[in-house]
Chain A
Amino acid sequence: MTDMMTYPDVVNLAVPFFIAAILIELTWIAVKGRGGRYETRDAVTSLVMGAGSVASGILLGFIAWGFFMVLWQITPLDLGTSWWVVLLCFVLDDLRYYWVHRFGHRIRWVWASHVNHHSSQHYNLTTALRQTWSGTFTFMMVMRAPLILLGFHPAMVLFAGGLNLIYQFWIHTEAIGKLPRWVEAVMNTPSHHRAHHGRNPRYLDCNYAGVFIIWDRMFGTFVPEIESDKVDYGLVHNLGTFNPLRVAFHEWIGMLRDMTQPGLTLRERVKYAVLPPGYSHDGSRQTSEQIKEDHLRANPKDRGTPGFS
């Protein structure tokens, strides 16, 4: 069994490309006068979140790596390093990403980590870098366990995950409209991912794909970007701070406060961690389903249209 295997750390290697692409997008917007918006503090917050995410990976990455190597010692399977194994690993890791991302929106414990990525009211290439600092604490590393137990080497699995993240960088833009039909049918595109970042009732909890949008089509979470319902970026309740520490940890603290408030049953405390964002024991908040229902009461003509079926 191959214990030592190395792949390039593609995310770190892509940093110069990220910076160059941001400058190109900014120039494009300035010259054309369309294709997105930039604002200084928002962009700086996103970039600092990105830098913090890389730092967090360097500091805490050993936890996931240790877990993966234990699994690698246990499994009797080793698929080797053929190109088709790498390709298969990439596709299956994208399926893994779909479910981790879906859990990231539907389980508050995981949302506490992912929320910062949605906290910008802008949608440009810096938004792509607004990544979590606390992913390790979601324990979503367990979602990679099946791949390793199936015989994909941990280094290959992380390599595939890095490529997945790099793919998702370029789709965080308003500068690219809709792509040819076959591309929109198979791949995650700027249009599909714009919808994912929408706080409009229609777009809540849709388009979880990383690279291949087919997962959303297969599992019933696909909603196309609709011209008549322009995407409004950000959170249902937008943050009142640009402080990266607050952006990174506000939901964790909010969740822990909810879980530890006096007078709750144990079941209610657990529900604050495992049910979707918006759950409250007294019904004082709204989940995305309730927000959609409210919208349909006010706009019955939207019933049955994408995002409301």
Chain B
Amino acid sequence: MPLHILGPMVVIGVIGVAILLHLMGLSKRLRFDESTARAAWLRHFPDASVRTVHVAPDGHAALIHSTDGPGIVWAMGADSAARFVQGARPEQRPDRLVLHFRDIGTPTIRLAVPAALQDDWLKEIGPL
């Protein structure tokens, strides 16, 4: 197939599917409560039992204290990702707490934690 047909077809196809999915309401991010955050963490780390769960105010992430250390579980679209926070570099912004990792597959986690709560969260996380 000539490139001048293939290229526009692919571009229009991708944009069209994206718009359609968005209009169908399929862009919603996963929201956690304590129970679903716990379950999501255990899905990723079945051997690291959960001690405590702090759900972020917007419900899209949670701080987990597990038997293997603190970690974050957060919404990746309609699904979740999770990781331990050891080695992260925290950055405090007015409206969010950002954790930077030296990991090309998870470079940052943006937590919608307001400034007033950020110190509490960092204290909960402990030394990084």
Could you tell me which A residues sit within 8 Å of B by CB distance? 9, 12-13, 15-16, 19, 22-23, 26, 30, 37-44, 47-48, 51, 54, 58, 121-122, 126, 232, 234, 237-242, 246, 249-251, 253-254, 294, 298
Query: Which of A22, A58, A253 is the one whose CB lies under 8 Å from B17?
Result: A22
List chain B residues, Cβ under 8 A from A126: 17
Q: How far is the CA of A16 from the CA of B3 in the complex (A)?
A: 14
Closest approach, in angstroms, between the C-beta of A209 and any C-beta of chain B?
27
B54 contacts chain A at the CB level, 8 A cutoff: no
Could you tell me which B residues sit within 8 Å of A by CB distance? 1, 3, 6, 9-11, 13-14, 16-18, 20-22, 24, 26-27, 43-44, 46-47, 74, 76-83, 103-107, 109
Residue contact A51 to B77, C-beta cutoff 8 Å: no
Query: Which of B10, B13, B16, B77 is the one whose CB lies under 8 Å from A42?
Result: B77
Q: How far is the CA of A232 from the CA of B46 in the complex (A)?
A: 13
Residue contact B13 to A254, C-beta cutoff 8 Å: no
Are A39 and B79 CB-contacts (below 8 A) given A246-B105, A254-B104?
A: yes
28 contacts between A and B (CB under 8 A): A13-B1, A15-B1, A19-B9, A19-B13, A26-B21, A26-B24, A37-B78, A38-B26, A39-B78, A42-B78, A42-B79, A43-B18, A43-B21, A44-B18, A48-B14, A122-B79, A237-B83, A237-B105, A238-B44, A239-B106, A240-B76, A240-B81, A240-B83, A240-B106, A251-B105, A253-B104, A254-B104, A298-B46
Query: Which of A15, A48, A237 is the one whose CB lies under 8 Å from B44?
Result: A237
List chain A residues, Cβ under 8 A from B105: 237, 239-241, 246, 250-251, 254
Q: How far is the CA of A170 from the CA of B53 in the complex (A)?
A: 41
Residue contact A238 to B14, C-beta cutoff 8 Å: no
Q: How far is the CA of A58 from the CA of B83 in the complex (A)?
A: 37
Are A15 and B13 CB-contacts (below 8 A) given A232-B43, A237-B44?
A: yes
Q: How far is the CA of A234 from the CA of B47 in the complex (A)?
A: 18
List chain A residues, Cβ under 8 A from B83: 237, 240
Task: Please give 9 more A-B residue pairs, beta carbons under 8 A apart, in addition to A19-B9, A39-B77.
Answer: A38-B21, A40-B27, A126-B17, A234-B79, A237-B83, A239-B105, A240-B76, A240-B83, A249-B104
Residue contact A15 to B26, C-beta cutoff 8 Å: no
Closest approach, in angstroms, between the C-beta of B15 and any C-beta of chain A?
9
Closest approach, in angstroms, between the C-beta of A126 and any C-beta of chain B?
8
List chain A residues, Cβ under 8 A from B22: 40
Closest approach, in angstroms, between the C-beta of B76 and any C-beta of chain A?
6
Are A26 and B20 CB-contacts (below 8 A) given A13-B1, A241-B106?
A: yes
Residue contact B78 to A43, C-beta cutoff 8 Å: no
Residue contact A12 to B104, C-beta cutoff 8 Å: no
4 closest residue pairs by CB, A with B: A240-B106, A250-B105, A121-B79, A40-B27
List chain B residues, Cβ under 8 A from A12: 1, 6
Q: How far is the CA of A57 from the CA of B18 in the complex (A)?
A: 24
List chain A residues, Cβ under 8 A from B77: 39-42, 242
Q: How far is the CA of A48 from the CA of B18 in the complex (A)?
A: 11
List chain B residues, Cβ under 8 A from A232: 43
Residue contact A40 to B43, C-beta cutoff 8 Å: no
Are A30 and B24 CB-contacts (below 8 A) given A42-B77, A121-B76?
A: yes
List chain B residues, Cβ under 8 A from A23: 17, 20
Closest approach, in angstroms, between the C-beta of B85 and any C-beta of chain A?
12
Closest approach, in angstroms, between the C-beta of A115 and any C-beta of chain B?
9
List chain A residues, Cβ under 8 A from B17: 19, 22-23, 26, 43-44, 47, 126
List chain A residues, Cβ under 8 A from B76: 121, 238-240, 242
Closest approach, in angstroms, between the C-beta of B6 and any C-beta of chain A?
6
Query: Which of A15, A16, A39, A294 is the one whose CB lies under 8 Å from B27?
Result: A39
